[in-house]
Structure 1
Amino acid sequence: MKIIFISNRKGTTRSMVLSNWAKALLSLCLLGLPISGGILIGSLLASGNHPIDITLINSMRQELEQQQSELDLGREDAQQKVKAITLKLAEFQARLVRLDALGERLSEVAGLEDGEFDFGQQPAVGGPEQDSLQSYQHTELEALFQQLEEQLDSRESQLGILESLMMDRNVQRQSAVTGRPIKKGWLSSRFGRRTDPFTGHRAWHNGVDFAGKAGSEIIAVAAGVVTWSGERNGYGQMVELDHGEGYATRYAHNSENLVKVGDVVKKGEVVALMGSSGRSTGPHVHFEVYKNGRAVDPASYIRRTIR
């Protein structure tokens, strides 16, 4: 083997030829140093007399185990929250289904026009876009909850309005003077001029008469307040009701009055029993309707219906 040495300062070179013994010694040094170093490190690790701190490894292992435990707990907590959110969403959807069914049923009962209260469609909303809200971002879950909440608010608002309308219509039906003052009987005398049954002369009849069986029920044709209940000249036992808005009704010739002054009665409630008290020829009810203090023909109110 020939080794050449080069000098940087003088630019000269020198060479040296190694003998076989020198070559063997050089190879032994180059190969022996790594092997002996590995053997030394292995012996140190086996004996425990090494510079690597085993406690640091154990600490890192414990920290990894703690992080894994926290991760498992976090995953379990997240699953519980997702389950709770899923149940809440199902509850919201069930409430919406019930509200929609109730709203549609009430709309049918109220006889509202198609489309006036549509519980099967998304609530109609709108408005100009606001720049201040453009940067506000919702997560999908927040957006879903907000949509459900808006639908619930819309349904509740529609139901509130529908309830108010139905109450108004119910009040209108209750207070409107309509129908016959009896459950059983027949019309025996009309409103206007007729032959008086006692004198035989033409006379004015201020109401209509319904004949029937003595003791038959006499009912209020509208809700109102009792302003008279007792004997009255020519009428016999009479009940008078004030229905508001200038309307009043009278039920006369009763055998018995079942209400007293100040009572509040509902439409269809029994107020007296049919008789023949006062100026009467037999069991019947004399029915009068007053509007703003003036007697009017009850026939139009008997045939009248409120929708």
Structure 2
Amino acid sequence: MKIIIVNKDHAQARSFTLGGWTRAFLSVCLLGIPTFVGAWGYSWLVSDERDGFFNTDTKAWMDILSARESEIEQEREASEAQIAALTSKMGELQARLMRLDALGEKLTSAANLEQGEFDFSQVPALGGPSKASPDTLYATPDFFAAIDQLSQQVDSREQQLNTIEALLTNRSLQQETLVSGAPVANAWVSSRYGYRKDPFTGKTEFHSGIDFTARKGSKVSTVAAGIVNWSGRHPEYGNMVEIKHGDGLVTRYAHNTSNLVKAGDVVKKGQVIALSGSTGRSTAPHVHFEVYKNGRVVDPASYIRRTNR
């Protein structure tokens, strides 16, 4: 092999003749060095050192992303917990408001308020200009603080309505236990309380009650709530019911065709306790009504004229 070297001015030229061994050495250098470099590069690429070189930054970024994902998951769980708590609180407030509406309807009916004065089925009418500044007009509300405030208002209204209910219940109880009115409807008084001519002997004797003339089988109702003291047959009163009320008062209903209650029964005001008749010492169907105060018989007229207050 002959090699010719020419200078940059092309003025001179030199030639070299390479022998067989020289050509072999150059071939080995030209071909062996790239092969060696390629083999070393490949081994470096697949070695742990390459992983360490490339993975240092990658692992750091992966750690950052993993930490961020963990934070996002925690925030998501916290948000879901807050939403669940908010939903539960709203459900509780809704149930309490429904109970307050029912209580309001009950109190409205019990207080005999005019229809439409308090309509608990409608949303309360609200309105008026806003006093908030433009900066705070559209401020994001703190929902939990708003719900807590609403809950406190519901508590306050509930206490007020419960107090009103207790007062009305007490008033209703007083009306129930108040001895007032007549024991039979659409009847007229045939004999008053006091001295009179006895219908059987013609002698002047004391009449301890008031007689109401009534058709046989008319409904006899109690004039107040109480407990049945006695219900049975008496030789002079015939079929009689005796009821014990509060405040030392006892009422009797006599000469009944039949008694509809028994001793120990709790009766309400206006409850039918017997059917009128003419049993015992009686000349015709009527209701004999007596009132006792602390064990002494009194004139029933003052109680019959009583009105509920």
TM-score (normalizing by structure 1): 0.64
Task: Please name the residue that 2:58 is paired with.
Answer: 58
Alignment of 1:245-264 (within 5 A): 245-264=247-266
Mapped to 1, the partners of 2:112 and 2:217 lie a distance apart of 41
Structure 1, residues 94-153: CA drift from partner, whole Å, max 9, x if none?
Answer: 23432442343344344399xxxxx999xxxxxxxxxxxxxxxxx955544543443344
- Which amino acid in structure 2 is aligned with residue 190 of structure 1? R
Structure 1, residues 241-278: CA drift from partner, whole Å, max 9, x if none?
Answer: 11131100011111222333333322223322211112
Task: Please name the residue that 1:87 is paired with.
Answer: 87
Mapped to 2, the partners of 1:275 and 1:269 lie a distance apart of 18
Structure 1, residues 16-41: CA drift from partner, whole Å, max 9, x if none?
Answer: xxxxxxxxxxxxxxxxxxxxxxxxxx
- Which amino acid in structure 2 is aligned with residue 216 of structure 1? S
- Contact 1:175-1:223 within 8 A present in 2 as well: yes
Task: Please name the residue that 2:101 is paired with.
Answer: 101
Mapped to 2, the partners of 1:89 and 1:232 lie a distance apart of 64
Mapped to 2, the partners of 1:224 and 1:99 lie a distance apart of 31
Mapped to 2, the partners of 1:289 and 1:91 lie a distance apart of 54
**SS of equivalent to 2:251:** strand
Mapped to 2, the partners of 1:212 and 1:304 lie a distance apart of 21
Task: Please name the residue that 1:127 is paired with.
Answer: none
- Which amino acid in structure 1 is aligned with residue 273 of structure 2? V
- State the Cα distance separating 1:282 from its structure 2 match: 0.7
> Residues 292 and 103 (structure 1 numbering): CA distance in 2 closer, same or farther, change over 3 Å?
same
Mapped to 1, the partners of 2:273 and 2:169 lie a distance apart of 24
- Contact 2:100-2:158 within 8 A present in 1 as well: no
Task: Please name the residue that 2:179 is paired with.
Answer: 177
Mapped to 2, the partners of 1:56 and 1:162 lie a distance apart of 75
- Contact 1:184-1:216 within 8 A present in 2 as well: no
Mapped to 1, the partners of 2:156 and 2:81 lie a distance apart of 28
Equivalent of residue 149 in structure 2, options 147, 150, 161: 147
- State the Cα distance separating 1:176 from its structure 2 match: 1.6
- State the Cα distance separating 1:78 from its structure 2 match: 4.0
- Contact 2:241-2:252 within 8 A present in 1 as well: yes
Is 144-153 or 292-301 further displaced after alignment? 144-153
Alignment of 1:142-221 (within 5 A): 143-221=145-223
- Contact 1:255-1:276 within 8 A present in 2 as well: yes
- State the Cα distance separating 1:291 from its structure 2 match: 1.4
Equivalent of residue 305 in structure 1, options 267, 292, 307: 307
- Contact 1:99-1:155 within 8 A present in 2 as well: no
Mapped to 2, the partners of 1:161 and 1:208 lie a distance apart of 41
Q: Number of aligned pairs? A: 240
Mapped to 2, the partners of 1:96 and 1:151 lie a distance apart of 11
Supply the RMSD in Å over aligned alpha carbons.
Answer: 3.5
- Contact 2:111-2:168 within 8 A present in 1 as well: no
Q: Which runs of 5+ in 1 are unaligned?
A: 1-43, 114-118, 122-138
Structure 1, residues 46-81: CA drift from partner, whole Å, max 9, x if none?
Answer: x9799x932111102212321342244234324423
- State the Cα distance separating 1:300 from its structure 2 match: 2.6
- Which amino acid in structure 2 is aligned with residue 269 of structure 1? Q
Structure 1, residues 262-307: CA drift from partner, whole Å, max 9, x if none?
Answer: 3332222332221111221111110111112232222232232324
- Contact 1:238-1:254 within 8 A present in 2 as well: yes
Mapped to 2, the partners of 1:93 and 1:157 lie a distance apart of 15
Equivalent of residue 294 in structure 1, options 287, 293, 296: 296
Mapped to 1, the partners of 2:266 and 2:102 lie a distance apart of 31
> Residues 170 and 237 (structure 1 numbering): CA distance in 2 closer, same or farther, change over 3 Å?
same
Mapped to 2, the partners of 1:66 and 1:53 lie a distance apart of 21
- Which amino acid in structure 2 is aligned with residue 61 of structure 1? W
Mapped to 1, the partners of 2:71 and 2:167 lie a distance apart of 57
Mapped to 2, the partners of 1:260 and 1:112 lie a distance apart of 35
Task: Please name the residue that 1:69 is paired with.
Answer: 69
Mapped to 1, the partners of 2:232 and 2:78 lie a distance apart of 77
> Residues 89 and 226 (structure 1 numbering): CA distance in 2 closer, same or farther, change over 3 Å?
closer
- Contact 1:214-1:283 within 8 A present in 2 as well: yes
> Residues 172 and 197 (structure 1 numbering): CA distance in 2 closer, same or farther, change over 3 Å?
same
Mapped to 2, the partners of 1:153 and 1:291 lie a distance apart of 45
TM-score (normalizing by structure 2): 0.64
**SS of equivalent to 1:234:** coil
- Which amino acid in structure 2 is aligned with residue 67 of structure 1? A
Is 267-276 or 282-291 further displaced after alignment? 267-276
**SS of equivalent to 2:105:** helix
Identity percentage of aligned residues: 43
Task: Please name the residue that 2:131 is paired with.
Answer: none
